[in-house]
Structure 1
């Protein structure tokens, strides 16, 4: 029987619906594969691990994942999931912005919710409670700013109007006449700083739905029970969430069948074509929508998208030779981690190993804390003769010290150790690879063929 024990460092979730767990290893942050689903009272795979995407303990948690769960995170530059500080629970600054700026200018309306228009108040909540395919237009958003000036959020069109995701509160509420005509916002029912007895949801409804209004309250209690029914979410299993689309619920709520997968923008009526193209790209690489979405992303990106996304799209499609010219063009525009990485993989996949080695070498100079760049540099360097066997093995050995749980690093270190005639070291690395992933095919083959147990 296979047994693996890991220490869990952080808990994510309020505990009302789910409790997920994070591992922090040598600065690298990952999601554990098991989540406790409260209502079902059962353990099951964590979000992101379903539908054949079980990566064991290796699902990387990037800053965009943490933004709505933690405050004060300090990611290490030129990495994806490595942090100096993971941060703590959400606090004042999550909704009110930097406290230091407030101290410098206490009268700045940016920090006073009561002075904001309704739409700006909703933007703060929407930053986390409007989950979808988010395209960042520019960095620097903070509470009080217009969300649509910084982000475009896209959602798959749902034929059934009753379908909702676990973080679709804002999108659903915006459909409601109570918001559009009655001025209701999230804070109407969810007081951020309650003092004294909190009014019931029925009392909040009755503050508007009196006998004098066009839609007076029905003579019974429990308004949300009928008009905001609870139900399963489309994206997280074993959960029951309140649908924030306030309405008279009728059977068979359907917008009609959608002829093909399609995205709609929840933050603006006419989004820029470049944002639409990026959204379809993200939809495809996240594994949803299938080939039709990939084809749509390709058409849109060829016309409006930046070359980096086209390069990444073709890499996802397994077409590195098609990706390479777009990666080369992207390098003329910027030299970020994602751009350099895309060029490295495209050049490597297209057989341009000398070009790939030069890029991986440059990336290791800029991103010494990014293990994947070191790994590719060592392997390609050894393949091209730019690095000797001892040099390449030294890099792999250091990577195994950085990430001893990584089966790919361990397996390749075992191969190089075997080539050096160091059987004991090879067996140590191979055993660690199989302990991390007993189903890792290359490691199983190596063990059976070259390194059977003594």
Structure 2
């Protein structure tokens, strides 16, 4: 079966979709329609601080009047959920032995240096390049340490997760997901993560991971909403202190106690529900939810195959008969029953008290017939350990949690039965409401991007097309339709959908960039340049997007302009290895050998695999849509040498007339050509194997643009993939 060619940048797509499934903050203009507008409901109108114009003030503004509450809350894990790393609060030890990531070959360890902890990446080399080493300082900690602490390094104000996490019951091991897909030092802090681990940072517009204002921990305003109105009111009232204890309604700030049960649960579920896909609703951002609002007005959640993580504590509680049976009572069993943030954390002696408020008396004890069961269900018994068992969560290494589905474990399965449906709506409004079909189809695009399912992209595009035919209310839907079309290789349809999204007011850089990519695929680089420039004018710090813009300039032959943009991207994000390599290619084409060598050497320092591309530098001179001349260029970097190539090893070479030769390929397979971020660009059949030639044209029939590429062989019956060969196309010297 021919591999499906996905002619767009896969890693970039995840950044593009971050606004939808991780919750990127965006300054999007209001949609010119009232169809999706939500007026504040009766509950919201009770509290004046729900208005978006009210500012956050930070915990220090609360403690002067609420010292006792602040002191008790400081003992809870939430208060230390995110903070700067400091030696004073250190719990970790340095590592004696490195932890090896088998798929990538990199190894990681933690070292002490200059009063800080650093994560160090190494990989064995050969005699020419013995050891690769990169190190990143552990600047920020996410997690209280009760279960684990994971770390972020700061690069020019932007936060990137580090590969190693400290697990309280284990010590050092890989951060979740890194053993399967080693992101090294490039995994950006998602807005959705910081929104739940910190109290409403001020985000940089359209740029995840960079926050001009970043508050430590989950603070008071996470549950009470922005506090400026409340602080101003009580500071202006000289008699405020004497009336703070009066239990009257204060409309200047949300008191969750005064919310109906479903809204109180929403306060907890904003962070304690984990589904496979979370799509922000129109005109919403990751930081829009405030207590008293409906969480379902913020997100459309979707479960994968009917499953939901055990760490979705609020949802698990809702499945309990104890919760359902107490919903209409004066004191229902809810999150705050056991997790009161203004009281000391429950101990083993006190955590059973909520259970005993119902499960006591002769009628209860009469249910048990054996001496053992009577003893275990006596008032001194431990209800929680049996009916909320500690279980392993598959998505968190070395992580165990109290399962908040209160049940008899021997009678009820811990997990719901798997559903045959790929994604299943969490909220009723997305199962049968007027927007249900639309948001479900949008969720399928996001799920397809995460799973790499071409069939799901097809299904989503088929469903979205008629739903959006006459639509003017959902620009995000048109954007996602465009993404689905791009994934299917249908650039004309993608461009039409993306242009519609922009027409309806969605002018985020991600949308403009997606349209620019569609234009590039159609050969319209003039329009693509204008779109990139428009996107970067609204957020100049989008380094990866600026590097992409530079790729387009290099493709057009504007090498000096391309070099300027590559350098600007690298000033903002020096760790962009592919941008450094492509800068080197642009300089080679201008015959600037010394600075080109420096850029290429820096790229290889960041990504040692790129060294193999230095022996496969292909100078290409084009004539319209054909290659007029192709030749090999000796490596300008004498300081980097690769190991001698074995005679039968797969490789990439220049071949006459004006073609590339893939040598030593197996029969009945494909040579797959990828961009540096993993997007599959084309598949070349190997047929009988051996040497296979390629005319350097991509999936759109155009000569592949100057830049860095990766080739790998795929064939039936291969016990292991053949080594990857990087190669680079260099524009003919000017």
TM-score computed with the length of structure 1 as normaliser: 0.89
Bigger drift between 216-225 and 422-431 goes to: 216-225
Instruction: Give the Å deviation of 1:450.
Output: 2.3
Range with bigger deviation, 7-16 or 277-286: 277-286
> Could you tell me whether the CA contact under 8 Å between 1:364 and 1:377 is conserved in 2?
no
Contact 1:20 1:36 (8 Å CA) reproduced: yes
Q: Does 1:207 align with 2:351?
A: no
Radius of gyration: which is bigger? 2
Determine the C-alpha separation between the residues in 2 that align with 1:18 and 1:444. Answer: 41
- Give the whole-Å Cα distance in 2 for the aligned partners of 1:401 and 1:20: 27
Q: 1:24 aligns with which of 130, 154, 160?
A: 154
CA shift digits 1:239-262 (9 cap, x unpaired): 111111111123673755533423
CA contact (8 A) 2:163 2:185 kept: yes
* One of 298, 304, 308 as aligned partner of 1:156: 304
Structure 1 vs Structure 2 CA RMSD:
2.8
Tell me if 1:238 matches 2:398.
Answer: yes
Whether contact under 8 Å (1:152, 1:275) holds in the other structure is yes
Does the alignment pair 1:225 with 2:371? no
- Within a 5 Å distance, the mapping from 1:53-452 to structure 2 comes to 53-104=181-232, 107-108=250-251, 110-132=253-275, 133-137=277-281, 138-139=283-284, 140-158=288-306, 165=309, 167-182=311-326, 183-194=332-343, 200-211=350-361, 219=374, 220=376, 221-250=381-410, 253=413, 256-266=417-427, 268=429, 270-271=432-433, 272-273=435-436, 274-287=438-451, 290-304=453-467, 306-334=477-505, 335-385=507-557, 387=558, 389-440=559-610, 443-445=613-615, 449-452=634-637
**What is the match of residue 712 of structure 2?**
none
Which residue of structure 1 aligns with residue 654 of structure 2? Answer: none
Seen in structure 2, the aligned counterparts of structure 1 residues 424 and 86 have a Cα distance that, compared at 3 Å, is farther
**How far, CA to CA, are the matches of 2:394 and 2:495 in structure 1?**
37
Q: Secondary structure at the match of 2:212?
A: strand
Alignment deviations for residues 36-86 of structure 1 (CA, whole Å, 9 cap, x no partner): 233233411x234353x3221111123222101112422222323333233
Distance 2:402 2:634 in 1: 56
Query: Structure 1 residues 34, 429: CA separation in 2 closer, same or farther (over 3 Å shift)?
Result: same
User: Is the 1:122–1:186 Cα contact (8 Å) retained in structure 2?
Assistant: yes
More RCO (CA 8 Å, sep 6+): 2
Deviation string 1:295-322 (CA, Å, 9 cap, x unpaired) is: 4433332243621001122334454344
Preserved CA contact (<8 Å) 1:324 1:350: no
Larger relative helix fraction:
1
Assess, with a 3 A threshold, how the Cα gap between structure 1 residues 152 and 258 changes in structure 2: closer, same or farther.
Answer: closer
Question: 1:374–1:310: structure 2 CA closer, same or farther, 3 Å change rule?
Answer: same
Cα deviation, residue 446, structure 1: 5.8
- Report deviation, 1:445: 4.7
Change (3 A) 1:319 1:87: farther
For residue 129 of structure 1, report the CA deviation from its aligned partner: 0.3
Shift in CA distance, 441/135, structure 1 to aligned 2, threshold 3 Å: farther
Partner SS for 1:84: coil
Give the secondary-structure state (helix, strand or coil) at the position aligned to 2:303: strand
Q: Offset at 1:451? A: 2.4
CA, structure 1 residues 354+48, in 2 after alignment: closer, same or farther (shift >3 Å)?
Answer: farther
Q: What are structure 2's unaligned runs of at least 5 residues?
A: 1-130, 235-249, 327-331, 469-476, 618-632, 640-734
Separation (CA, whole Å) in 2 of partners of 1:113 and 1:370: 38
Residue segments in structure 1 that go unaligned for 5+ positions in a row: none
Query: TM-score scaled to structure 2, two decimals?
Result: 0.56
**Contact 2:310–2:316 (8 Å) recurs in 1:** no
**Deviation, structure 1 residue 378:** 2.5
Contact 1:18–1:38 (Cα < 8 Å) also in 2: yes
Change (3 A) 1:255 1:371: closer
**Contact in 2 for aligned 1:153/1:267 (Cα 8 Å):** no
Distance in 2 of aligned mates of 1:38 and 1:177: 32
Structure 1 residues 443 and 6: alpha-carbon distance in aligned structure 2, compared to 1, 3 A threshold: farther
**What is the alpha-carbon distance in structure 2 between the residues aligned to residue 212 and residue 299 of structure 1?**
61
The answer to whether the 8 Å contact 2:142/2:150 transfers is yes
